[in-house]
Amino acid sequence: MKLKSFNYLVGLLIVLIFSPLLSEEKIDIWKNKKEEAVTITPQKKGEIKKKLNSNSSQPIKFKDTVQIQEGILPQSNDQKVYGIYEPANYDLNLNMWSSTKAEDLRSSLKRLDKIELSKSSNDILEMILFSFSYPPQGMTEKEFNNLKINWLIKNDRAPLIESFLKQNEEFDGKSRAVQYLVDKSIASANIKEGCEKIKFIDASIKDAYLEKFKIYCLVFNDKKSEAQLLLDLLREQNQSSKFYDDKINFLLGLSDKTNEKINEKNLLNFYLSSITIADFKYEPTIKTKPEVWKYLNAANLIKFDDASDKEKLKELELAANKNQLDKNKIFEIYKQIPFSLNTLINAKTSYQTLNESDARALIYQKYLLSDNSESKIEYLLLLEELFKKNDLTNVYSKFLSDKIQEIGIKNIPEKYQEVALGRIFSDEDLFLGKVRYNDKIIHQSKILKYFVEGENKKKTQKDIDKIFKKITKNKKYFISAKDLALADALITDGFSLPTNFKYNELAQKFDVPKNLLKLIENDQKAFLGLKIVEIIGEDEPYQLDPETIYFVTNLLNKMKLVTIRNKVLNSALPKRI
């Protein structure tokens, strides 16, 4: 028995000593085989396909980024989570949906789909929806993930889709996400960028459309032998088509003729048609797919040679209004429409005798010929009315804003200034502006530096003592709902307020909706966040009434959603210039 034990130990020792060498030898042999490969045999097709499918850009592993908060346990050992952001960054956790019913989430997202959300609302929604988490009660991982992908695609969030693909290796809907990025690149006539997206196409994606695009990218990058191999494999799997074979054979130089018929089944087919048909001509209509419109526009394939073709112009105006066509194209066409000198001179009256498109073209040309600010703004506002009349304001609103800013508000006659100001579009960074502190008003005072600039707590407490003491001595000073919103945030963050400031007594004047307080009782952090998004909606926080600002920030304080609260406060409270 001792001898057998000894032999067993010696054998085990030998295995342990030589196993690394054996493994190393296997790796060397594999490398040598790859180096020796010259011809493509049927047996090696699978190996080469695997190589072609491999993704050199490895996605970030979720397990290394998400911090599971103390006391929060995963719902199950095998359940996966998907997202982009670490939940702790926004005061959330992996189980933030665990107390919410699936139907409540579905209903909330449906309501939000009907609202044109402001930038702040969108930012908050993204924080909540794309933080890693388990799905709500009664919802599968697949459905939860598809809700996210659907939202990203519908809202044209290409950068976030790329982030999602990098953060999550395999998930339901991956092929849709990649195809969206590919089609977006084709639609912008940027094939080089589209071909860069094939890094997301790996063995986990079984999608004929993406495989076809990958093959075309190999042709595009002059890797024809690899393209031929993948094409053969695609045909073996019956995933190719007669149209696609014809186009790729032509591009590979295997045939010198190609079908002249334009294929609109999908964007890739349409693109292949456009680059293989000599003197390609295509007349888009209202029924043309939006992505095809975008490609035609980006590739400069939309021509308007006949100024008398009013029906074609109407179709182009409608396409521009739907964001399918570059809006500037419409104004370029307007310049091409001929008018007599007499018609131009009497434009203010003669436009009424013309058809709708010609009337807009005439007034636009008259605007271009105007030599002073007053007449320019008059024609711009008249043109606005003509666009509104045909529900084409989306074509014109940004153009009007840009032209008013070019003229300059100070150069516009005073009687038009207020109207002109209301027509100017501004990005959030522009209309928020720089904070101007006013220590005579609590919610505009330099106490806000703590939230806006990250002022240290010691300095902030000194400012609180000084400013509150001074203001509360003024018996004429009215404590507003915005003042209470700031006070509530300060108390939540551990600051002390002067004893003569009766916060609790003052707060009783304002009611917080009971249905939202119920969400706090049930620890429904994420769902409360969605409710806040619904409340803010299409407005920026500073556009809300003071009472709403107070109860929104009060709810966020109670739920300890400090990051979201600070975003609301920074928009709603400071005076900016």
Model confidence pLDDT, tens digit, residues 238-252: 999 999 999 999 999
Is residue 564 classed exposed, middle or buried when 0-12, 13-18 and 19+ CB atoms within 10 A define those classes?
buried
The angle subtended at Cα 133 by Cα 183 and Cα 160, nearest 5°, is 25
- Measured in degrees and rounded to the nearest 5, phi and psi for residue 137 equal -60, 130
Rounded to whole angstroms, how far apart are CA atoms 451 and 569? Answer: 8
Six-digit token string for 481:
């709902």
Integer Cα distance of 283 and 453 in angstroms:
55
pLDDT tier at 473, thresholds 50, 70, 90: confident
Rounded to 5 degrees, what are φ and ψ at 82? -130, 150
Determine the Cα–Cα distance for residues 160 and 4; give it in Å rounded to an integer.
Answer: 63
pLDDT at 511 over 70: yes
3-class DSSP string for 383-404: HHHHHHHCCCHHHHHHHHHHHH
Neighbouring residues of 318: CB distance < 8 A, sequence distance ≥ 6: 286, 392
**Angle CA(361)–CA(367)–CA(369) in degrees, nearest 5?**
105
Mean pLDDT of the chain: 85
Which residues does residue 131 pair with via DSSP β-bridges, in sequence order? 85
Name the strand (E) or helix (H) holding 314. helix 310-321
Asked if residue 54 has pLDDT above 80, the reply is: no
* Phi (first) and psi of residue 70, to 5 degrees: -60, 130
Per-residue pLDDT reduced to its tens digit, 106-144: 999 999 999 999 999 999 999 999 999 999 999 999 999
Structure tokens at 129: 């929806």
Q: Report the alpha-carbon distance of residue 333 to residue 365 in Å, rounded.
A: 11
Q: Which residues fall within 8 angstroms of residue 203, CB to CB, at 6 or more apart? A: 50, 53, 54
Q: Are 316 and 325 in contact (CB under 8 A)?
A: yes
Q: What is the model's pLDDT at position 425?
A: 67
Measured distance CA(482)–CA(306) in Å, rounded? 60
Q: Report the share of the chain in percent with pLDDT over 70.
A: 85
- pLDDT for 426 equals 53
pLDDT digits (tens, 9 = 90+) for 254-296: 999 999 999 999 999 999 999 999 989 998 887 888 899 999 9
Nearest to 127 by CA among 152, 98, 90: 90
Amino acid type, 432: L
Q: What is the largest CA-CA distance in the chain?
A: 119
The residues that bridge with 137 in the sheet, in sequence order, are: 101
Report the Cα 504 to chain-centroid distance in Å.
41
How far is it, in rounded angstroms, from Cα 232 to Cα 253?
16
Do 68 and 178 touch, CB atoms closer than 8 A?
no
Residue 434 has pLDDT above 80, yes or no: no
When comparing pLDDT for 377 and 1, which is higher?
A: 377
Exposed, middle or buried: residue 319 (CB in 10 Å: 0-12, 13-18, 19+)? buried
What residues have CB less than 8 Å from 23, skipping those under 6 apart? none
Tell me the two tokens of residue 15.
């295995």
Query: Looking at this protein, which amino acid is placed at residue 154?
Result: K
C-beta of residue 121 within 8 angstroms of C-beta of residue 533 = yes
Burial class (CB in 10 A: 0-12, 13-18, 19+), 30: exposed
Selected residue with higher pLDDT from 79 and 513 = 513
pLDDT in tens, 361-384: 999 999 999 989 999 999 999 999
> Is the pLDDT higher at 424 or at 524?
524
CA–CA separation, 400 and 573 (whole Å):
30
Q: H/E element holding 576?
A: strand 575-576
CB 142 within 8 A of CB 150: no
User: Following CA atoms 444, 450, 456, 459 in sequence, which dihedral angle do they give, to the nearest 10 degrees?
Assistant: 20
317 vs 13: which has the higher pLDDT = 317
Report d(CA 439, CA 16) in Å as an integer. 75
DSSP string, 62-122: GGGTPPPPTT---S-TT---B-SB-GGGGT--TTTTTTSBHHHHHHHHHHHHTS---HHHH
Please tell me the distance from the alpha carbon of residue 263 to that of residue 471, in angstroms, as a whole number. 73
pLDDT score recorded for residue 325? 85
* pLDDT tens digits, 530-540: 999 999 999 99
Q: Among 10-24, 221-235, 311-325, 561-575, which is the least confidently predicted range?
A: 10-24
pLDDT class of 44 with cuts at 50, 70, 90: very low
For residue 256, the model assigns a pLDDT of 92
Tokens found for residue 560? 């300890």
Q: Which residues contact 92 (CB under 8 A, 6 or more apart)?
A: 127, 128, 131, 133, 525, 526, 561
Q: Return the minimum-mean-pLDDT range out of 386-390, 419-423, 539-543.
A: 419-423
Residue 533 and residue 125 in contact, taking contact as beta carbons nearer than 8 Å? yes
